[in-house]
Amino acid sequence: DYTPKPEHKFTFGLWTVGSTGRDPFGAPTRDALSPVELVHLLAEVGAYGVNFHDNDLVPIDATPAERDRIVRDFKNALKETGLVVPMATTNLFSDPVFKDGAFTSNDPKVRAYALQKTMQAIDLGVELGAKVYVFWGGREGTESDATKNPVDAIKRTREALNFLCEYVLDQGYDLKFALEAKPNEPRGDIYNPTTGHMLAFIETLDHPEMVGVNPEVAHEHMAGLNFLHGVAQAWEAGKLFHIDLNDQYPGRYDQDFRFGSRDLKAAFFLVKFLEDVGYSGSRHFDAHAYRTEDYEGVKDFARGCMRTYLILKEKAARFNADPEIQALLAEINATEPSLESVFGAYSREKANRLKGMTFDRVSLGKRGLKYERLDQLTIDLLLGVR
């Protein structure tokens, strides 16, 4: 039974199920739903939580009275449905003021406004219960490097994040930041384009312990990278604070397809990884329904994301319990007791011993590793004949 439950921590953004199907070439194909209606839609399909950008909830030009009414209605919808808000973020990309970036804009007035807007959005997110705050710098980039100094851009980003970390500490908020990379779109090139860049950048901040990453399947696939490897590196560094699940063909526009709808094998190894290591954060679907759909199709889309995750989770358990697969894995990872003493920390004695050893390079190079069999067993399992 693949019914989503709260313990699965499936979340969606208001902007995901709320997408109206607009694209750069075409008008919306669905009427917009209100945040309250979207919360009810998510509750109907069985989601655990809902995330939002400040302006998904409160329009950028709302009066304080309108803001209070909207937040009150939204809180009531959360209470009625039991949905929670694990994550929030700032829209620093839609309004024309951010056409040349927010934290990296060349204009100090825009940079100051971006800080102000983010502090207010953090206040809103915390008020609604968010524990993770995402930064996706969609406009932080260039079309031409004539226009912006890339070193200044990095320094400005660092200064902004340091400032905002201090703001969170000063307010006493229980909130962590998660930085989301994307190589391009909407800008020609975006700074810190991959999760790996973000991980390196985080270590240069004043409070690296408060800051992790929010890797997105589609964004790493756009860059032609292996998503799982980026996620694993983030996890191993203690930096996997959040994750954006969706799917994407490499070399295309930002597709944000239903999770698992394109590269099932990659999705399988990702789910297997998250479940095996015990990742305890949200499984957030940052994806949207095809433009061809009405809201029944949007529900099909949302249910599909969660269903595929749960099917793959079950497949991962079968992989872990499959005697033939496990026997092959044991063989592949067999240890060599006679060599154990040369590994680990360096010593001069070990180095000398290693230098004196002989290895049968030719026969080692000839050995078949049975990876074809192992991979086909995986494929059989995924295709349901195993």
Measured CA distances, 154 to 33, 181, 202 (Å):
38, 14, 11
Amino acid at 101: G
Active-site annotation, residues: 53, 56
Residue 289 near which of ligand GLT, Mn ion, none (CB within 5-8 Å, type-dependent): none
207 assigned to a ligand binding site: no
286 assigned to a ligand binding site: yes
236 assigned to a ligand binding site: no
216 assigned to a ligand binding site: yes
107 assigned to a ligand binding site: no
Residue at token pair 């204009």: 107
Min dist CB 197 to ligand GLT, Å, is 16
Q: Which residues of the shown chain bind Mn ion in the complex (CB under 5 A)?
A: 216, 218, 244, 254, 256, 286
User: Helix or strand or coil: residue 193?
Assistant: coil
* Strand stretches in the chain, DSSP E: 10-13, 49-53, 87-89, 132-136, 141-142, 176-180, 189-190, 211-213, 244-245, 283-285
Instruction: Quote the DSSP letter at residue 327.
Output: H
d(CA 132, CA 130): 6
Contact yes or no for 24/63 (Cβ under 8 A): no
- Residue whose CB is less far from Mn ion, 100 or 216: 216
User: Helix or strand or coil: residue 205?
Assistant: coil
d(CA 243, CA 255): 17
Contact yes or no for 303/260 (Cβ under 8 A): no
Q: Which residues of the shown chain bind ligand GLT in the complex (CB under 6 A)?
A: 15, 53, 89, 134, 136, 180, 216, 244, 286
Min dist CB 6 to ligand GLT, Å, is 22
- Residue whose CB is less far from Mn ion, 148 or 182: 182
- Residue whose CB is less far from ligand GLT, 100 or 220: 220
Residue 19 near which of Mn ion, ligand GLT, none (CB within 5-8 Å, type-dependent): none
Residue 247 near which of Mn ion, ligand GLT, none (CB within 5-8 Å, type-dependent): none
Residue 319 near which of ligand GLT, Mn ion, none (CB within 5-8 Å, type-dependent): none
User: Helix or strand or coil: residue 35?
Assistant: helix
Min dist CB 53 to ligand GLT, Å, is 6
- Residue whose CB is less far from ligand GLT, 87 or 325: 87
> Which positions make up the binding site for Mg(2+)?
180, 216, 219, 244, 286
